[in-house]
């Protein structure tokens, strides 16, 4: 039942390789992308590298898990790193980043004009594409400083993962583009006959845009672009440079996904896109994969066994004197290890279930199995009278003093705290006796089996989803991260994720 | 009941699924709903197992009792051309604009214009009436951007109205804002019973309130069934392994003796119960946090077989049963 991928992505060699300078984590929202980026950064740092993690929009808790109350636009050193490495973390502030570019490239007077331009203010406050562009810009800056061995980048929570690649180009080409040049300097185009038609088109267009957006806005755009354009050489050039940086061999793209249909579909799309753009793709991180130590027991078999236990319990109550199941049946079941997950369990299970009423119908006075069971089965003599199943079935039993006695015995034997729960005795629900307590363990076991069946259903669903992905992309190396029951709160939690990432599911069933 | 139902939620919480189920639920018994997609991901088409939706309202499902669900994937560029056509009667000139990149410019880059077009189209559908003066759609359900961006998305009209101080965009933005801030609109947030989505939901609600946008309900999605209750969980810690092994053996799962098949199942099964217990406690805690937000809460079950069309109808029935439509 394991989800062993065709190819395994080994993250440690990737993180250790001094040639690896940038790791980009991308994927759709809600798959644990930011957490993965932080866990990778921590792991690389504790393996001796000097790392900075650039997050885009981390949950507060994630920042806190790195011991930083609020991340900002400057890398802050994370304390508590084991070993010689260093971990720094920062959160992208797109407006601040944009402002810094302007301030760095324009003289103070011109910078002030740009910073006060209403169009610039809305553009930098984060309309479509700015965040992605600024993430790339920041990455370029961090790389240029050359202070870190490794930069781990998280990508913005986009509509789709592709925006991250497209938006910088779009913004770059807009700010550098023909349209803007025409808008800002339509007069230059006059004169030459060939341009005449275009010129007419242009004035019509500026007119329309002006009408549409309001003349003031268009004027703001024009002033803004003129100011930007003369101050430094082209957004397009910068966008292209960062794009090339991403294509360089020192970069590794990781696509992060969860084993769910939508997330993997997006991941597949992204993998194809990275290939088309010649981006160095390292592999897929599959988060929140479930495993089971009892994977050889199928869901169907577990459910059938659970029902079996329930119906046995019910029968025991119908006739309290019949403590034991049919000898033959109990014997048959107890003897050899007959089941095997490889055999079609669905067919085997209903058969035994059908068998049980028949088996219990015949009087089975032999008490050997029962007495064998009583001593230990008592042990969990917690009261479960509150459960519906039991309530319904309790009434037929006549109050039996032996029952109370039996329960007391059980307490003495086992010292379970639950058995001493006053409600057990004061509630006055008469326990029939030994079978009553055995029933409780049976019902617990039935519950455990149902829980297992649920887990196995989840496992097979995840596997189906995963198989579909692997069938389409057999070349993709996959690192699976075993699901955690809770959230990450501290460095230890991030370290745990890193361990799981590197181990490729440490909780695989021993088979 | 608000006629424009906006569904948002953190990524991965299944907001598209919930929006679709809500559209189905609202259409039940002869009503007509429009399900609107604004992020160009074609999630609705995938959910309803149809081919990609064009920029055109088309019927995609029939609800129980004869209702109809229509769907529309809004394409901002086409919406802008539509819009230009409506106001300026631009035919071929519109296409020329597109060729020059002006439309691309206006929809991708011009501050917030894209969002104004998207919300504007949804508001237009809300207000549209047929010849007899009856509303074309009883309800419009929008599969909106995620929680982190929803307030800016809906409120962008305010910003645009401030930025474009005159002109049709300005007027359009103001008209849209009037609908969005009225009781005609309700913004619902989808979450999971996990810490981060719940935290994001709480933050999102605060932001929506601050922007005077009407918050509707919280829908907890993918709620896992309760398999073991508190008593069971206590019992798992107390019950001796041998008893469980014997019980497993009695159910036909192999030998109870040390090393027997049944005995070897005990530890992994108890380990799963331990994980369940941890999650159970966490979910309980998160339910408490959600309850404190003081909004109506709905819960939708996790479908064991994954999402498909049948599951969607099941969720719609659940929403109806819980009085969300």
Query: Quick one: pLDDT at residue B317?
Result: 95
Q: Is B147 on the interface with A (CB under 8 A)?
A: no
- Same domain? For A399 and A253 the reply is no
Q: CATH code at A174?
A: 3.40.50.300
In terms of Cβ atoms closer than 10 Å to its own Cβ (0-12, 13-18, 19+), residue A286 is buried
Full domain range(s) for residue A83: 11-188+223-289
Q: Which two tokens stand for residue B265?
A: 């199942």
Distance from A165 to chain B by nearest Cα, in Å?
15
Pairing relationship of beta strands A76-77 and A86-91 according to DSSP bridges: antiparallel
> DSSP 3-state assignment of A507?
coil
Element spanning B185, H or E: strand B185-191
Residue of chain B with shortest Cα separation from A445: B244
CA A49, A50, A56, A59: dihedral to nearest 10 degrees? Answer: 70
- Same domain? For A33 and A174 the reply is yes
Query: Quick one: pLDDT at residue A506?
Result: 42
Q: Is A463 on the interface with B (CB under 8 A)?
A: no
Q: Is B13 on the interface with A (CB under 8 A)?
A: yes
In terms of Cβ atoms closer than 10 Å to its own Cβ (0-12, 13-18, 19+), residue A374 is buried
List all residues of chain B from 255 to 314 with a beta carbon under 8 Å from chain A. 255-256, 260-261, 265, 267-273, 275-276, 278-279, 282, 304-307
Residue A206 lies in a domain: no
Q: What is the Cα–Cα distance from A104 to A211, expressed in whole angstroms?
A: 35
Residue B218: CB partners within 8 Å, gap ≥ 6? Answer: B188, B189, B190, B191, B201, B290, B293, B295, B296, B297, B298
Listed range (A186-190, B122-126, B251-255) with the worst mean pLDDT:
A186-190
CB distance A217 to A121 below 8 Å: no
DSSP secondary structure of B101-149 = THHHIIIIISTTHHHHHHHHHHHHHHH-B-TTS-BS-SEEEEEPPPHHH
Among A217, A416, A454, beta carbon nearest to B163: A217
Residue A130 lies in a domain: yes
Whether B252 sits inside 8 A of A179 (CB atoms) is no
Q: Pick from A287, A444, A466, A497 the residue to mutate for testing the B interface (most B CBs within 10 Å).
A: A444
Tally helices (H) and strands (E) across chain A: 22, 8
Whether B168 sits inside 8 A of A211 (CB atoms) is yes
Listed range (A14-18, B35-39, B245-249, B306-310) with the worst mean pLDDT:
B306-310
Q: Which two tokens stand for residue B272?
A: 């799963």
Q: Is B148 on the interface with A (CB under 8 A)?
A: yes
Q: Pick from B88, B105, B239 the residue to mutate for testing the A interface (most A CBs within 10 Å).
A: B239
Closest Cα partner for A278 from A237, A238, A249?
A249
- Same domain? For A278 and A375 the reply is no
Whether B250 sits inside 8 A of A380 (CB atoms) is no
Query: Quick one: pLDDT at residue B41?
Result: 75
Closest Cα partner for A185 from A161, A202, A170, A165?
A202
Partners of B106 on chain A (C-beta within 8 Å) are: 209, 212-213
Residue A205 lies in a domain: no
Averaged pLDDT for residues B230-241: 88
Q: Is A373 on the interface with B (CB under 8 A)?
A: yes
Query: Quick one: pLDDT at residue A304?
Result: 95
- Same domain? For A281 and A392 the reply is no
Query: Quick one: pLDDT at residue A439?
Result: 56
Q: What is the Cα–Cα distance from A263 to A479, expressed in whole angstroms?
A: 15
Residue A253 lies in a domain: yes
Averaged pLDDT for residues B57-61: 94
- What domain count does chain A have? 2
Among B109, B239, B278, beta carbon nearest to A485: B278
Partners of B267 on chain A (C-beta within 8 Å) are: 293
Q: Is B174 on the interface with A (CB under 8 A)?
A: no
Partners of A208 on chain B (C-beta within 8 Å) are: 84, 88, 90, 93, 97
Residue of chain A with shortest Cα separation from B283: A486
Among A118, A339, A418, beta carbon nearest to B261: A339
Angle at which helix A33-46 crosses helix A491-503, to 10 degrees, equals: 90
Q: What is the Cα–Cα distance from A174 to A82, expressed in whole angstroms?
A: 46
Whether A444 sits inside 8 A of B224 (CB atoms) is no
- Same domain? For A306 and A278 the reply is no
- Same domain? For A277 and A403 the reply is no
- Same domain? For A281 and A368 the reply is no
Per-residue pLDDT 10s for chain A (511 aa) are 444 445 899 999 999 999 999 999 988 878 888 899 999 999 999 999 999 999 887 667 777 778 777 778 889 999 999 999 999 999 888 888 888 888 887 788 888 888 888 778 777 765 556 777 788 888 888 999 999 999 999 887 665 556 667 766 666 666 665 666 666 554 444 444 444 444 555 565 666 666 666 666 667 766 776 666 655 455 667 777 878 888 899 999 999 999 988 889 889 988 998 999 899 999 999 999 999 999 999 999 999 999 999 887 777 666 544 444 444 444 344 434 444 444 444 433 344 344 344 443 444 444 333 334 333 334 333 333 333 443 334 334 444 444 444 444 444 443 433 334 443 333 334 444 455 555 588 989 999 999 999 999 999 999 999 999 999 999 999 999 999 877 788 899 999 999 999 986 544 443 3
Q: What is the Cα–Cα distance from A372 to A394, expressed in whole angstroms?
A: 24
Query: Quick one: pLDDT at residue A244?
Result: 86
Distance from B266 to chain A by nearest Cα, in Å?
9
Query: Quick one: pLDDT at residue A505?
Result: 52
Whether B11 sits inside 8 A of A28 (CB atoms) is yes
Backbone phi, psi, residue B217, to 5°: -130, 165
- Which of A289, A310, A332 delimits the end of a domain? A289
Q: Is A293 on the interface with B (CB under 8 A)?
A: yes
Whether B238 sits inside 8 A of A337 (CB atoms) is no
Distance from B235 to chain A by nearest Cα, in Å?
7
SS (H, E, C) B26-95: HHCCCCEEEEEECCCCCHHHHHCCCCCCCCCCEEEEECCCCCEEEEEECCHHHHHHHHHHHHHCCCHHHH
Residue of chain A with shortest Cα separation from B10: A30
Q: Pick from A298, A447, A459 the residue to mutate for testing the B interface (most B CBs within 10 Å).
A: A447
In terms of Cβ atoms closer than 10 Å to its own Cβ (0-12, 13-18, 19+), residue A267 is buried
- Same domain? For A353 and A248 the reply is no
Contacts 24+ apart (CB under 8 A), A111-115: A111/A231, A113/A223, A113/A227, A114/A224, A114/A227, A114/A228, A114/A231
Partners of A458 on chain B (C-beta within 8 Å) are: 304
Query: Quick one: pLDDT at residue A465?
Result: 92
Residue of chain B with shortest Cα separation from A34: B196
Of these ranges, A98-112, A292-306, B40-54, B221-235, the one predicted with the greatest mean pLDDT is A292-306
Residue A216 lies in a domain: no
Query: Quick one: pLDDT at residue A180?
Result: 62
Q: What is the Cα–Cα distance from A246 to A99, expressed in whole angstroms?
A: 24
Residue A38 lies in a domain: yes
Query: Quick one: pLDDT at residue B316?
Result: 96
In A432-486, which ranges are continuous DSSP H helix? 434-472
- Same domain? For A131 and A183 the reply is yes
Q: Is A29 on the interface with B (CB under 8 A)?
A: yes
Sheet holding A76-77, edge to edge: A76-77, A86-91, A50-55, A150-154, A22-26, A251-257, A281-289, A478-482
- Same domain? For A353 and A264 the reply is no
Residue A36 lies in a domain: yes
Element spanning A284, H or E: strand A281-289
Partners of B41 on chain A (C-beta within 8 Å) are: 159-160
Q: Which two tokens stand for residue A7?
A: 């190819």
Q: What is the pLDDT of residues B267-313, one digit of tens each?
A: 999 999 999 999 999 999 999 999 999 999 999 999 877 778 999 99
Partners of A448 on chain B (C-beta within 8 Å) are: 228, 236, 244, 269-270, 272-273
- Same domain? For A278 and A345 the reply is no
Whether A293 sits inside 8 A of B272 (CB atoms) is yes
Whether B159 sits inside 8 A of A122 (CB atoms) is yes
CB distance B35 to B20 below 8 Å: yes
Mean pLDDT of chain B: 88
Start-to-end Cα distance in chain B: 8
- Which of A414, A431, A453 delimits the end of a domain? A453
Residue A468 lies in a domain: no
- Same domain? For A264 and A387 the reply is no
Q: What is the pLDDT of residues B155-172, one digit of tens each?
A: 876 777 666 677 777 777
- Which of A400, A419, A453 delimits the end of a domain? A453
Task: Say what the ipTM of the complex is.
Answer: 0.86
Q: Is B110 on the interface with A (CB under 8 A)?
A: yes
């Amino acid at each position: 039942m394991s989800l062993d991928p065709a190819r395994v992505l080994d993250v440690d060699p990737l993180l250790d390789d001094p040639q690896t300078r940038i790791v980009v984590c991308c994927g759709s929202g809600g798959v644990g992308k930011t957490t993965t980026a932080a866990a990778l950064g921590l792991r690389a740092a504790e393996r001796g590298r000097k790392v900075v993690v650039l997050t885009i929009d981390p949950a507060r808790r994630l920042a806190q898990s790195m011991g930083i109350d609020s991340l900002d636009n400057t890398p802050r050193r994370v304390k508590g790193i084991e070993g010689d490495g260093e971990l720094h973390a920062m959160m992208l502030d797109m407006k601040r980043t944009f402002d810094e570019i302007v301030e760095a490239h324009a003289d103070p007077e011109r910078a002030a004009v740009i910073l006060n331009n209403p169009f610039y203010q809305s553009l930098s406050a984060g309309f479509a594409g700015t965040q992605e562009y600024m993430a790339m810009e920041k990455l370029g800056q961090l790389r240029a400083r050359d202070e870190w061995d490794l930069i781990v980048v998280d990508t913005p929570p986009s509509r789709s993962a592709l925006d991250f690649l497209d938006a910088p180009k779009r913004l770059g080409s807009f700010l550098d583009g023909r349209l803007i040049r025409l808008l800002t300097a339509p007069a230059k185009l006059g004169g030459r006959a060939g341009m005449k038609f275009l010129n007419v088109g242009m004035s019509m267009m500026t007119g329309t845009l002006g009408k549409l957006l309001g003349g003031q806005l268009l004027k703001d755009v024009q002033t803004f672009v003129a100011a930007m354009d003369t101050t430094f050489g082209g957004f397009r050039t910068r966008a292209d440079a960062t794009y090339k940086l991403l294509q360089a061999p020192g970069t590794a793209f990781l696509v992060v996904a969860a084993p769910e249909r939508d997330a993997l579909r997006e991941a597949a799309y992204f993998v194809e896109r990275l290939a088309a753009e010649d981006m160095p793709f390292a592999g897929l991180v599959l988060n929140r994969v479930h495993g089971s130590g009892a994977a050889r027991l199928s869901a169907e078999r577990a459910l059938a066994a659970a029902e079996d236990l329930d119906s046995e319990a019910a029968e025991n109550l119908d006739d309290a004197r019949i403590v034991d199941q049919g000898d033959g049946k109990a014997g048959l079941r107890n003897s050899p290890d007959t089941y095997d997950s490889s055999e079609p369990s669905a067919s085997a299970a209903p058969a035994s279930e059908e068998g049980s009423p028949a088996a219990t119908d015949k009087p089975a006075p032999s008490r050997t199995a029962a007495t064998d069971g009583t001593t230990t089965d008592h042990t969990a003599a917690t009261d479960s009278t509150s459960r519906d199943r039991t309530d319904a079935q309790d009434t037929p039993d006549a109050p039996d003093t032996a029952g109370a006695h039996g329960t007391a015995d059980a307490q003495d034997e086992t010292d379970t705290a639950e058995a001493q729960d006053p409600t057990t005795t004061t509630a006055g629900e008469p326990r029939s006796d030994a079978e009553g307590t055995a029933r409780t363990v049976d019902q617990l076991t039935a519950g455990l089996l149902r829980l297992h069946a649920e887990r196995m259903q989840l496992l097979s669903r995840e596997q189906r989803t995963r198989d579909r992905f692997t069938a389409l992309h057999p070349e993709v190396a996959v690192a699976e991260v075993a699901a955690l029951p809770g959230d990450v709160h501290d460095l230890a939690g991030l370290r745990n994720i890193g361990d799981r990432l590197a181990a490729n599911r440490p909780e695989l069933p021993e088979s | 009941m608000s006629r424009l139902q906006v569904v948002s939620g953190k990524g991965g919480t299944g907001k598209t699924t919930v929006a679709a189920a809500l559209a189905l639920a609202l259409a039940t018994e002869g009503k007509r709903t429009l399900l609107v997609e604004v992020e160009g991901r074609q999630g609705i088409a995938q959910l309803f197992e149809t081919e990609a939706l064009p920029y055109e309202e088309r019927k995609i499902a029939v609800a129980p009792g004869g209702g109809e669900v229509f769907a529309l994937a809004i394409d901002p560029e086409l919406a802008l051309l539509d819009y230009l056509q409506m106001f300026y009667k631009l035919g071929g000139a519109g296409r020329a604009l597109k060729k020059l990149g002006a439309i691309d410019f206006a929809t991708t880059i011009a501050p917030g214009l894209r969002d104004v077009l998207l919300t504007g189209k949804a508001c237009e559908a809300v207000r549209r009436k047929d010849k007899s003066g009856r509303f074309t759609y009883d309800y419009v359900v929008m599969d909106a951007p995620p929680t982190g961006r929803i307030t800016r998305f809906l409120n962008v009209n305010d910003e645009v109205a401030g930025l474009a101080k005159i002109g049709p965009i300005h007027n359009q933005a103001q008209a849209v804002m009037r609908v969005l801030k009225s009781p005609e609109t309700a913004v619902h947030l989808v979450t999971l019973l996990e810490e981060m989505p719940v935290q994001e939901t709480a933050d999102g609600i605060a932001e929506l309130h601050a922007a005077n946008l009407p918050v509707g309900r919280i829908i907890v999605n993918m709620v896992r069934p309760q398999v073991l209750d508190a008593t069971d969980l206590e019992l798992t810690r107390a019950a001796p392994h041998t008893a469980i092994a014997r019980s497993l053996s009695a159910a036909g799962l192999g030998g109870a003796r040390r090393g027997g098949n049944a005995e070897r199942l005990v530890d992994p099964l108890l380990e799963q119960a331990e994980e369940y217990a941890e999650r159970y406690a966490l979910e309980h805690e998160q339910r408490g946090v959600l309850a404190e937000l003081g909004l109506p809460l709905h819960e939708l079950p996790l479908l064991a077989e994954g999402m498909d069309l049948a599951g969607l109808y099941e969720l719609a029935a659940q929403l109806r049963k819980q009085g969300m439509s």
